[in-house]
Amino acid sequence: MRLENFEEFLRYWGKHYQQQASHISMFKDGFGRKLMDKQRMLFAAYFYHIRGHFIDFLWYMGNNAPSCNYKEIILSNIADEFSPNGRSHELLFLDFSDAVGIDLRNEYIEQKYNLELIKNYNTNHLKWLSRHQWPACFAAFSAYERLDNIDYFNLLKLVKEFELPKKNYIFFSVHSQVQHFDVTFEEIKKLWPKNKTSIIDGFTFIGEHQLRIWKSLSNLIENKVGINSLITTSEESTETLGH
Ligand SMILES: [Fe+2]
């Protein structure tokens, strides 16, 4: 790895990340096809909280951004969540969860499926940011944006195996194609010469942290953790489907 060159570091980091991700059960071919309906619901419920609290990350970053340029990058990221001319990302995800058969319409308020381990995952992002200087924090943000394209490529492949009507995959396809990383890339290149170690720290933290939560999610689904507490879109489930 040539540390003097950010592009090479980035290529190495992305390749290493994808290699590690490919070993996780839920990213292997056929995983989605083998799941029972309630395991798909678990995926939707837990995924909602794994990705849905990124707003706290953005809020922290925006409040601590040292310049107008950085604040605008964060603000445009938040604006994209609302999709000014279309359905917000939140509503696109609810299209997916509805199609899977789980009612998450009040989940933002009720937090029924926000497991302790998912809460810790999200809190640990903020703790990490609070312990690091801006260049490392911005690198972590940039790494997270870079992973949108890698993670959602894997996630789209997984959910397509659910064989739902195409319109229910828009949430995943939008994220696999977003270009949020590009604007951060230009800033990181400027920071790189004087902040190599901090930038590597930020990318390494996000890569490892993300791989850990995907492994955990994969295990939760495989082991059907919480399956008895699922509320379906049609009725309250009273079925007993133990491990
Ligand atoms: Fe989004």
Q: Distance from the CA of 188 to the center of ligand 1, in angstroms? A: 22
- What is the Cα–Cα distance from 36 to 39, expressed in whole angstroms? 5
Q: Distance from the CA of 175 to the center of ligand 1, in angstroms? A: 6
The span from the first CA to the last CA of the chain, in angstroms, equals 45
Nearest partner of 137 among 184, 179, 75, judged by Cα? 184
- What is the Cα–Cα distance from 7 to 15, expressed in whole angstroms? 12
**Phi, psi angle pair for 153, to nearest 5°:** -60, -45
pLDDT for position 237: 43
What average pLDDT does the structure give for the chain?
93
Q: Distance from the CA of 145 to the center of ligand 1, in angstroms? A: 10
Q: Distance from the CA of 202 to the center of ligand 1, in angstroms? A: 21
Report residues of the chain scoring pLDDT below 50. Answer: 236-243
Q: Distance from the CA of 81 to the center of ligand 1, in angstroms? A: 5
pLDDT for position 241: 42
Residue range 127-172, pLDDT digits in tens: 999 999 999 999 999 999 999 889 999 999 999 999 999 999 999 9
pLDDT for position 239: 45
- CATH architecture of residue range(s) 6-228: Up-down Bundle (1.20)
